[in-house]
Structure formats: structure tokens, C-alpha cells
Amino acid sequence: MTMGESSKAEGAGTVRVALPYHLRNLAHVTGDVEVEAAPPVTVRSVLDALEARYPMLRGTIRDYSTGQRRVFLRFFACEEDWSLESVDKPLPEAIAKGKEPLLILGAIAGG
């Protein structure tokens, strides 16, 4: 058993998260990141795990005081927009099992 396996929370699964470029730079990572989230896997539990592992991301994805998603960020799960869903709604099984990433995308505005 590796150190990572022994420190896993009971029943926790590895969730992949795809971050926008500016947040990957801030967190000093390349590609998708992986975090451990206990079931039921929700946007809230994934963001909690993400901010615990990468504290420099606190306040960048959701507001410090309200916990609300930042306006110019969107969440996608299995090609569906989850930005307006409850952060406590369980994510699809493909996300919870790490088969598909939870996408956090920066909204594009312009005219």
C-alpha cells in the first residue's frame, strides 16, 4: 500500500478536475489535477478538496465569504453545464469515479 492509498478517506474516490489556464498557472500544475472526494461526490466536495490541496486557489473559483461560484467561471460535468445546479447535487458517476474530469472553464465574453 502506498502512502497515497493509506491516507485516503474511507470510500473516497479520485476525481479529476480540469482547470482553466490561469488557475493552472496559479496552482503551478499542468494538465488535469486529481483530488480525493468522499461520496457523495458533489461540486462542493470537489472544490473543498481542490482548495485544501491547492490553497492558492481559495477565493478564485468561489467567493470567500459567500461560497458562491465566481461569475466568469462555469462548471461542466459529462458535457452538461452544472454552473446553476446546487453545489450539493451528486455529480455523475463518471466524474465521481475519475473517468471524466469536472471541467472548470472561464467564460468568454465579447462583442
- Domain assignment present for residue 34? The answer is yes
Local confidence band at 111 (pLDDT 50, 70, 90 cut-offs): low
* Residue range 6-27: mean pLDDT, rounded: 82
- Domain assignment present for residue 64? The answer is yes
- Domain assignment present for residue 73? The answer is yes
What's the mean pLDDT when you consider all of the chain?
89
Which pLDDT score, from 0 to 100, does residue 10 have?
56
Which pLDDT score, from 0 to 100, does residue 64 have?
87
Per the structure, the count of domains in the chain is 1
Q: Is the pLDDT score of 34 beyond 50?
A: yes
Strand duo 80-81 + 73-77: pairing: antiparallel
Q: How does DSSP assign the chain, residue by residue?
A: --HHHHTSPTT-EEEEEEPPHHHHHHHT--S-EEEEEPSSPBHHHHHHHHHHH-GGGTTTSB-TTT-PBPTTEEEEETTEE-TTS-TTSBPPHHHHTTSSPEEEEE-----
Residue bearing the bigger pLDDT, 12 or 86: 86
C-alpha cell of 95? 466524474
Q: Residue 41: which CATH number?
A: 3.10.20.30
Show the domain range for 73. 15-106
Which pLDDT score, from 0 to 100, does residue 13 have?
86
Do residues 19 and 29 touch, judged by C-beta distance below 8 A?
Answer: yes
Which pLDDT score, from 0 to 100, does residue 12 have?
75
- Domain assignment present for residue 48? The answer is yes
